[in-house]
Amino acid sequence: MLKLSLDALLTVDTIARRGSFSAAAKDLFRVPSTISYTVSKLEEDLGVQLFQRFGPRVVLTPAGEELLKEGRYLLKAAGDLERRVRRVASGWETEFAIGIDSMLCATGLVADLEEFYKVADQTRVRIAKEELSGTWEALLDRRVDLLIGAAGEGPSGGGYTAEPIGTVAFVFVVAPHHPLAGIDRPLGKAELSEHRAVSVSDSARVLQARTVGLLFGQDTLAVPDMQTKYHLQLAGLGFGFLPEVWVQEDIRRGALVEKKVEEPRSAETLHLAWRTGEEGAALRWWIQRLREFGPLERMLVQR
């Protein structure tokens, strides 16, 4: 009789990603005691220790790492099988995940979601935010089914279809009380290296992480998304490039100061992307909808 179950593997995977039993319990909508029991029972059945405990924090043992390395393939295969079976039965995905770049606002999809639920109210929609290369990785790793606003060129190797949906221009800004605000010439590496940059962290787990506009050895305040970057630059805690559409009003009223730099950031092309060969009705609906009603203008809003 098998001592492994998909539920136990999912529990181990979630703990490993989140770093603690309590955080995994929140993700899985369970109480921590249930998570602890699942792990203890699996360790007892297998006769190995899967986690080392350091107070509330836990890390995988070598045996746990080996289990999860192979176990993730089983979880992925089981999820793919479940989706295929249900799709064959109804034509509509039971769950549809949309990944958006952190500079976009999901509330711009309200009208689209209202229309979607009129034709597919049995499909659960999940929206996730990713940053930089993490958007493409989420698609290729099947964490999301459709990308809206994936920045730059996709990774080599294919497996996806991408269509440009527009470009975003960026401007270099600082708060009016920031030391760089008083320099009246284009800023070069010498001036920038003396001050802190605010940078969005790439959410990629496997793909090469991407950085934008940072100097080697630069003092950097790393943040999880573009909205946080905007607010911290507004507070004067650092410098950096922000979407021009976000800061036009701030510049006009003097809350931010636009500065010329010797190495400006080029406009970024954003894409709509999905995995090649996918044929679910929800995916087809969303592609058609977003082609007809371009999402960029209504999602590229600072809220």
**Are 219 and 197 within 8 A, CB to CB?**
yes
**Are 274 and 136 within 8 A, CB to CB?**
no
What's the pLDDT at 302?
59
| Cα separation, 176 vs 251, whole angstroms | 10
What's the pLDDT at 1?
67
Task: Give pTM, 2 decimals.
Answer: 0.66
| pLDDT tens, residue by residue, 110-137 | 999 999 999 887 788 999 988 877 788 8
Strand 268-275 and strand 160-168: pairing?
antiparallel
Q: What average pLDDT score do residues 162-186 get?
A: 94
Strand 146-151 and strand 160-168: pairing?
unpaired
Is the pLDDT assigned to residue 85 strictly greater than 70? yes
Using alpha carbons, list the distances in angstroms from residue 76 to 71, 80, 82, 129: 9, 6, 10, 21
Token pair 């510049």 is at which residue? Answer: 251
**Are 238 and 197 within 8 A, CB to CB?**
yes
Q: What average pLDDT score do residues 21-46 get?
A: 90
What's the pLDDT at 204?
41
- Mean pLDDT (the chain) is 87
| Cα separation, 207 vs 159, whole angstroms | 15
What's the pLDDT at 202?
60
Is the pLDDT assigned to residue 234 strictly greater than 80? yes
Using alpha carbons, list the distances in angstroms from residue 63 to 49, 52, 60, 73, 76: 7, 11, 8, 16, 20
What's the pLDDT at 209?
43
**Structural domains of the chain in order of their starting residue, each with its CATH number:** 6-85 (1.10.10.10), 91-166+269-299 (3.40.190.10), 170-266 (3.40.190.290)
| pLDDT tens, residue by residue, 189-219 | 888 888 999 988 765 444 444 455 544 456 7
Q: What average pLDDT score do residues 76-88 get?
A: 75
